[in-house]
Chains A and B, each alone.
Chain A
Amino acid sequence: MSGGQLAGFNGNLGHMGSEWHVAGAGDVNGDGTADIVWVDNRNDVEIWQMRGGQIAQFVHPTGHQGAEWQLKGVADFTADGRADLLWLGGVGGAQIWDVNGTQVTVLQPTTPPTVYNF
């Protein structure tokens, strides 16, 4: 977009199976361009690293999350300039995935006791 006008349009970038949905977008690899984060119904994650409106690379982080977790957001929780993945658990709690390429560093910040009303 540019000043409220459509400056460019890219359709059909790629296609994922129906078990996948977009969980969010954010600059996961820190290259200044937002990337697209997908999650499937088994809580596997795939990231489309974007550049210039095109998919530059598919990345499959090595982590896997149990069914009691939901991927709820993509944002920089660690102030390192790279977006992280936010998981919220069915029995409360939160996990942050700091993704670097295919490597996942799992952070488990302390949270207040919680019941999520998803």
Chain B
Amino acid sequence: MTAYIVSSGQVSSGLVLNAGDTETVLSGGIAFATTVNNGGSLIVSSAGRAQVTTINAGGSEIVTTGGRATSDTINNGGSLIVSSGGTALSETINNGGLLTVSSGGGVIEANVNAGGVEVVSSGGSVSLTQINSGGSLVVSAGGRAGTDYVNAGGVERVLSGGRELIVQVQGLLAVSAGGFVSDMTIYSGGAGYAGSGGHFFVSGGTATISAGGFVSSADIDAGSTVVLSGGGLDLAFIERSGTLDLQTGAIIGGVTFRNDFTGAGGLLRIEGAAMPSATISGFVAGDRIDLANIPFDPHGSAVMTPGDVLQVSEGGQTYSLNFYQAQSYGPFYLAPDSHGGTLITNIQPLRFVAPGDLDRDHRADLLFTSAGQAVAWLNGGNAFVQNTVPNASMGSEWSAYGTGDFNADGKADILWTNGSGQAAVWQMSGASLTGFGIPAGQMGGEWHVAGIGDFSGDGKADIFWVSNNGDPTIWQMSGPQLIGLTQPAGRPYGQRMVGRRHRRFHRRRHRRPALGIDRRE
């Protein structure tokens, strides 16, 4: 029964602590190569250091406030506790050894070997843990783990309230109900199992399941992505704006979209030309399926057939997707994604045209088109409300160019053009069509509309045309009537004029901002 105290400037080396012996290492003291046997105890506190300690059966080491232990070995029956303010580096936990990390304690680079156990409890944190074959890491409520490696044969358990932030799995990662995992990679031979009622909850990161890896179920939270690159995933739950990326060879059992109507939908991306056999459910407005490698075909179709199979026809090929009770999801639409592939949605894809104050409330509204119809998003201040302009549509040769107040009623109207040098004006009041006309004029094929603006100063928007060689022409308009035609002198350095709208850059006595779109005098 000896009590050793190692304080500032003192070093103990090769001490053996047996039953009843204690060694306390205080600030500035160092305990080097201590062996702690049954009943012995090593306490490292207040800026003390312990290095290369061996803890055998019945021995214990406690690292607390300001203490640091480095390169310890914990053997069968030995115990290392890292608590408030203590840190431990490069620990080795062998068969029967136990490393406990409690509130305020931190452990970096532990190696958990066969039969060894590391437990992270509330307030404790670990990182860079290597969990080797037969070793085990348990992250319990309030514990945090990050950047860990579950090697082949190793096991990590994330219990309810535990968090694992970045993990690479070749062994087994088991997540209980309420456990939280982000940014995981499951490699060949690795597996992730969710306990009863639990899921992998992937939040804000990316989880990759590689070929040969397997996960039983995953919740993919808003903003996060699960990449299934040849591995298996039994059940995927895509929450709001989560993304599930199915790469070629991925095995998927079922996909459920969960949408809380925040307006940002989930995304199922299918790479390659082979469609998964998984059943898709919960597909609502805003959710999208991206056939990333199927080129968008404007003449394609998406038709729900009996048996809840969606048949997508594009470029002469047909692709089938299985839905659960699909009759409640349709109709389906196809749109191009941003990479040349095809998006499947069950809401009308909208092409943005321009802002414009359609209802004269001095707040610009948004104008879209869809299949020849005009769709207005009226601006209510903190919400846009969608209205399709009723009883009006244009043929496919027309496209909406922009907005301008052609009749000086303070409400933006819609200008359409076709490929033959003609223009058409829809006079609008909110989302209602109040008048329609095709001006009695036609430009040659080398002309295109380059802007809308009040060039004549009469308060009514005019149409600015530019030819392929840079010559300008202005149609002076009054509502849908062409009332004058001028050709201003000037050409911009022989360049082609581009841009959707040319605006006035000089102040006028009475304000007329933004080319009559927003007229309010």
Interface residues of chain A, those whose CB is within 8 Å of chain B, are: 1-6, 8-9, 11, 22, 24-27, 31-34, 50-53, 72-79, 83-84, 86, 88-94, 107, 109-118
Contact = CB atoms under 8 A, between A and B. Distances in A.
Contacts of A74: 355
B179 to A, nearest CB: 28
Contacts of B386: 112
Interface in B240-274: 241, 261, 263-265, 267
Contact of B514 (A5, A27, A118): A27
Given A3-B456, A113-B265, A116-B350, A34 B381 contact: no
B391 interface: no
B349 interface: yes
B263 A77 contact: no
B489 interface: yes
Contact of A115 (B350, B362, B382): B350
Nearest to A78: B363
Contacts of B286: 91-92, 113-115
Contacts of B335: 115, 117
Contacts of B496: none
B486 interface: yes
B384 A90 contact: no
B288 interface: yes
Given A109-B384, A112-B377, A34 B514 contact: yes
Contacts of B385: 112
A8 B505 CA distance: 11
Contact of B488 (A6, A26, A52, A79): A6
Question: Top 10 closest A-B pairs, CB basis?
Answer: A4-B486, A113-B286, A75-B364, A113-B285, A75-B355, A117-B349, A110-B383, A79-B362, A6-B488, A112-B386
B506 interface: yes
Nearest to A32: B507
A22 B504 CA distance: 15
Chain B interface bracket (under 10, 10 to 19, 20 to 34, 35 or more): 35 or more
Contacts of A33: 505-507
Given A92-B265, A109-B381, A79 B363 contact: yes
A5 B263 contact: no
A77 B521 CA distance: 17
21 contacts: A3-B456, A6-B490, A33-B507, A34-B514, A72-B352, A75-B518, A76-B518, A84-B364, A89-B264, A91-B264, A91-B286, A93-B264, A109-B381, A110-B384, A111-B377, A112-B377, A112-B384, A113-B261, A113-B286, A114-B286, A118-B338
A93 B489 contact: no
Contacts of B370: 117
B191 interface: no
Contacts of A84: 364
A57 to B, nearest CB: 14
Contacts of B503: 25-26, 34
Interface in B22-67: none
B493 A11 contact: yes
A4 B384 contact: no
A58 B493 CA distance: 25
B467 to A, nearest CB: 16
A92 B517 contact: no
Contacts of A113: 261, 263, 265, 284-286, 347
B343 interface: yes
Given A2-B457, A53-B506, A111-B377, A9 B490 contact: yes
Given A115-B288, A115-B347, A79 B264 contact: no
Given A11-B493, A90-B338, A117-B349, A26 B381 contact: no
Contacts of B486: 3-5
Nearest to B344: A115
A77 B364 contact: yes
Interface in B329-356: 333, 335-336, 338, 343, 345, 347-352, 354-356
B382 A109 contact: yes
A110 B349 contact: no
A88 B352 contact: yes
Contacts of B241: 91
A93 to B, nearest CB: 6
